[in-house]
Structure 1
Amino acid sequence: METLNKHYIDGAWVASEGGSEFPIKSPGDNAVIGSVTLGTAADVDLAVAAAKRAFESFSQTSKDERIALLNRLLEVYTARLEDMAWAITREMGAPIDMSRASQAGCGIDHIKAFLDVMETHEESEVLPNGDVLYREPIGVCGLITPWNWPISQVAQKVIPALAVGATCVLKPSEYTPLSATIFAECIHEAGYPAGAFNLVFGSGADVGAALSRHPDIALMSFTGSTRAGKLVSIDAADTVKRVALELGGKSPNIIFNDTAEDLEKRVKSSVRHCFHNTGQSCNAPTRMLVERSCYDAVLEIAAKTAETQQVGDPAQSGRHIGPLFDELQYDRVQAMIQVGIDEGARLIAGGLGKPEGLENGWYARPTIFADVTNQMRIAREEIFGPVLVIIPFDTEDEAIAIANDTDYGLAAYLQTGDAARAERVCRALRAGSIAINGQGTQYGSPFGGYKQSGNGREGGVFGLEDFLELKVRGGLGLPAE
């Protein structure tokens, strides 16, 4: 049993100021594996005060000093990779092989990507008009991260903040405190000064809101649902702080008939991508748009792929998917599957209930609906589970129109053998990132979306910009000698 009853504030683990206990559960069998003490607004005040004090000196460190700290963090994090992988598997149900390779492993790649950016990032430059531009750390940053990719989002926020000399207070999801604790331990061992990084466990309603409203926080960076992101923006409005949001998605995946020679491979890969992380990814390709001339063939391939998708114990090695992260999420997914049935969509794989033999955890059946229209709720609302909807189209223009007919714009996917079409459709899609024929974007590229998928970008040089303020000055104004 893990007992996490302290927050990391000002370089030390300190008891909460009157916080309450919250159970940590394993989604694989619903067993209680520990508890975490949720913080209060008083804990936030202590953490922000520590970050504000630390900012005075940490913001003045040189780029070389901060690069050295990042390199040390990379060493420490790499040494703790196995601990991190098991923590994520235990607390949110990612299969252990996936935890090692992706969930925990991405932390290494994010640190390396930001190190690459820092090597060439200029903190000042002379503009073409002769003025001088300075890029300076924004101040104290409030960071709120989700449970579905706990370390990926922590790294995407904490690393750029510290890289530019800002200080921060992190509120990770209360459902994934084990991985956040290990990350804080890595920060401490790497030798960051006290107060540069602080960690306060808590709920969004208490700790998250206290961060968003705090007058001494200059930036709020939030990843999570669109609903919660709107609340962060409202809470932050009174102090006119900067707000960066990475929110939900309902990403289209357009399959054209001209990929026919590779159709089976592309469809299988697309279905598995939708089910990856048990469908709990904001950029999952959950709307498959299929050209009518290959529609029947795609349905057959997709159904067989779903039927052979293994679901199993996250502690076991293998290529299976694990459970949904908790009972609440399981109930939401079941409710949306019922919505699809009630709306008249054709169920071609999966459906309600749990896979046979997996009754104890929060496992869902990999599910596919065919003959979906883009006006159905299952095509418009983020389900966040292993549920794929398939929509037919007749023309390229119709495919683009359906793809863009959504409140979201985080990602889009495209399968075609025609390079000119790929470029044409890519330019027409209203989404922050496009993957073509399985080729996605790399570490160091900007990640974020259009419309209600948020604002701002994470990753690479664009990921640094949210944590920087711009200052410009004219010439020195001294008389010529």
Structure 2
Amino acid sequence: MILIDKFYIGGEWVAPDSTTTMPILTPSTNAQIGQVTLGNSVDVDRAVAAAKAAFETFSMTTKDERLALLRRLAEVTRARMDDLGHAISKEMGAPITMSCQVQAYSGLGHLEGYIAALESLDEQETLPSGDILSREPIGVCGLITPWNWPINQIAQKVIPALATGATCILKPSEHTPLSAQIYAEIVHEAGYPAGVFNLVHGDGPSVGSAMSRHPDVAMMSFTGSTRAGSAVSKDAADTVKRVTLELGGKSPNLIFADCDLETRVREGVASCFYNTGQSCDAPTRMLVERSVYEQTLVIARSAAEAQQVGDPAQEGDHIGPLFDGLQYDRVQAMIQKGIDGGARVLAGGLGRPDDLPVNVQNGWFARPTIFCDVTPDMAIWREEIFGPVLVITPFDTEEEGIAMANDTEYGLAAYLQTGSEERAIRVARRLRAGGIHINGRDAGYGSPFGGFKQSGNGREGGLFGLEDYLELKVRPPFAL
């Protein structure tokens, strides 16, 4: 049994003020593997005080000093990669191969992107007016991260704070404390001064809200649901702090008849099911040019039926369970809504897969599911499902396809498959989303990630990810 009953505050592992606990469950079997103590507002006050005190000196460090610390952080991260991967697999159910090679590695990939960004950042420049512009750390940052990509999102928030000279308090998802605990150990071993990074476990209504309302926190960065992001913004409003949000998505995948249909449709299905569909930018709406619609359905059904589901402890490219029982119930309810709403089940459906290994039959595994003949009035078209569920519908013209793709309150990502470079450029320009994926290619580490509309505001990654952690200061050149 893993016991997490210490928070990392002021450079030390300290006993929390709170005595509230919750079990740590592994989704592959629904068995309890540990227990975590959840903090309260007193714990937040202690962490903020430590971060505020540390900011006085850490904000004065040079770029070279911070780069040296980041490079040391990279060394320690590499050494702990296997530990991170196994922790993530246990706590949120990602298959071990994907957990080590992608989930855990994202912490290092983003770090290398931020190192390159900081190297290129001009912290001071002379403006055309002759005045001097300085970019300076914003202050104490409150960071709230989700369970679905735990280290990816921790890295996207903690590293830019450390890179710019800001200080921070991390509240990871209370459901994925194992990887966050290891990350705190990594930061400590890298040699960051006491109070620069702090870790407080807890839930949103207690720790998250206390950070968002705290007068000494200058900036909040949140990743999660649109509902919770709105709550963070409201809590932060009274103290007029900066708020950056990375929220939900219902990303379209436009399939044009001139693409490599077999390859792109199979990729689209796999991308939707990846991480068991628990990615905010997953391509969950496949829009297909009508002339190849029936052919697409044949390919998509084959891809879904070939998708293996299994024990996350086993190596391989299968998908694992949903995160927990609540998530499983939500996905099942959405599948039922699709059936009740008149969509045709092309593959999968309600319940668990039939051929699960005996040792994981109590886990939260869902059947990879595809609905076709979906219309924009259906709930499964409009609502984020966050599970291995794909919806497919046809369109007749490029204009109609673009309109359908943009017919969502979200705008995190959009996917585009075509054999025409001219069409790719033309359509990408009109899609209302923060990231456009073309013919199976994604943006790399160091590029900005974020969305339009209710998918949030601000960007994470690389040079643009540093900007939210910086304030601008202007002064005239010195003269007597």
Bin of the TM-score, shorter chain as denominator length = over 0.9
Say whether residues 1:124 and 2:119 are aligned partners: no
Deviations 1:407-437 (A, max 9, x none): 0000000000011000000000000000100
Aligned counterpart, 1:442: 444
Contact conserved, 1:374 with 1:391, CA < 8 A, in 2? no
Contact conserved, 2:343 with 2:374, CA < 8 A, in 1? yes
* Equivalences for residues 397-436 of structure 1 within 5 A: 397-436=399-438
Letter of the 2:411 partner, please give it. G
Partner Cα distance (2:119, 2:208) in 1: 33
Aligned counterpart, 1:8: 8
Say whether residues 1:274 and 2:276 are aligned partners: no
The Cα of 1:213 is off from its aligned counterpart by 0.3
Partner Cα distance (2:22, 2:351) in 1: 28
Say whether residues 1:108 and 2:108 are aligned partners: yes
Partner Cα distance (1:389, 1:263) in 2: 17
Letter of the 1:130 partner, please give it. G
Partner Cα distance (1:254, 1:292) in 2: 11
Deviations 1:300-330 (A, max 9, x none): 0001100010000000001100000100000
Aligned counterpart, 1:252: 252
Contact conserved, 1:9 with 1:47, CA < 8 A, in 2? yes
Partner Cα distance (1:97, 1:19) in 2: 36
The Cα of 1:477 is off from its aligned counterpart by 3.9
SS at match of 1:23: strand
Aligned counterpart, 1:287: 285
SS at match of 1:340: helix
Contact conserved, 1:138 with 1:467, CA < 8 A, in 2? yes
Deviations 1:15-71 (A, max 9, x none): 110231110000000010000000000000000000000000000011111100001
Say whether residues 1:364 and 2:366 are aligned partners: yes
The Cα of 1:475 is off from its aligned counterpart by 2.8
Partner Cα distance (1:16, 1:161) in 2: 24
SS at match of 1:175: coil
Partner Cα distance (1:375, 1:462) in 2: 36
Deviations 1:306-364 (A, max 9, x none): 00100000000011000001000000000000000000000010000001143310000
The Cα of 1:139 is off from its aligned counterpart by 0.1
Give 2:386's match in structure 1, choosing from 381, 384, 400. Answer: 384
SS at match of 1:310: coil
Partner Cα distance (1:49, 1:170) in 2: 14
Letter of the 2:158 partner, please give it. V
SS at match of 1:339: helix
* Equivalences for residues 143-162 of structure 1 within 5 A: 143-162=143-162
Deviations 1:163-216 (A, max 9, x none): 010000000000000000000000000000000000000000100000000000
Contact conserved, 1:104 with 1:151, CA < 8 A, in 2? yes
The Cα of 1:273 is off from its aligned counterpart by 0.4
Aligned counterpart, 1:311: 309
Aligned counterpart, 2:465: 463
Q: Which runs of 4+ in 1 moved over 4 A?
A: none
Aligned counterpart, 1:329: 327
Partner Cα distance (1:405, 1:389) in 2: 14
The Cα of 1:286 is off from its aligned counterpart by 0.1
SS at match of 2:354: coil
Q: Percent identity?
A: 69
Q: Tell me how many residue pairs correspond in the alignment.
A: 476
Aligned counterpart, 1:56: 56
Partner Cα distance (1:236, 1:357) in 2: 48
Partner Cα distance (2:84, 2:387) in 1: 23
The Cα of 1:375 is off from its aligned counterpart by 1.9
Aligned counterpart, 1:237: 237
The Cα of 1:295 is off from its aligned counterpart by 0.1
Partner Cα distance (1:97, 1:279) in 2: 17
Partner Cα distance (1:476, 1:116) in 2: 32
Aligned counterpart, 2:318: 320
Give 2:336's match in structure 1, choosing from 327, 335, 338. Answer: 338
Letter of the 2:3 partner, please give it. T
Partner Cα distance (2:128, 2:272) in 1: 47
SS at match of 1:43: helix
Contact conserved, 1:404 with 1:430, CA < 8 A, in 2? yes
SS at match of 1:431: coil
Contact conserved, 1:37 with 1:201, CA < 8 A, in 2? yes
Letter of the 1:213 partner, please give it. R
Contact conserved, 1:55 with 1:140, CA < 8 A, in 2? yes
Aligned counterpart, 1:347: 345
The Cα of 1:118 is off from its aligned counterpart by 1.2
Partner Cα distance (2:448, 2:378) in 1: 31
Give the alignment's TM-score, normalised by structure 2: 0.99
Give the alignment's TM-score, normalised by structure 1: 0.98
Partner Cα distance (1:295, 1:460) in 2: 39
Letter of the 1:198 partner, please give it. N
Contact conserved, 1:19 with 1:40, CA < 8 A, in 2? no
Letter of the 1:346 partner, please give it. R
Aligned counterpart, 1:93: 93
Aligned counterpart, 1:164: 164
SS at match of 1:448: coil
Partner Cα distance (1:18, 1:305) in 2: 49
Aligned counterpart, 2:138: 138
Aligned counterpart, 2:181: 181
Contact conserved, 1:346 with 1:370, CA < 8 A, in 2? yes
Contact conserved, 1:50 with 1:195, CA < 8 A, in 2? yes
Aligned counterpart, 1:190: 190
Query: How big is the alpha-carbon RMSD for the aligned residues of Structure 1 and Structure 2?
Result: 0.6
The Cα of 1:156 is off from its aligned counterpart by 0.3
The Cα of 1:391 is off from its aligned counterpart by 1.2
Contact conserved, 2:18 with 2:37, CA < 8 A, in 1? no
Aligned counterpart, 1:219: 219
Letter of the 1:416 partner, please give it. T
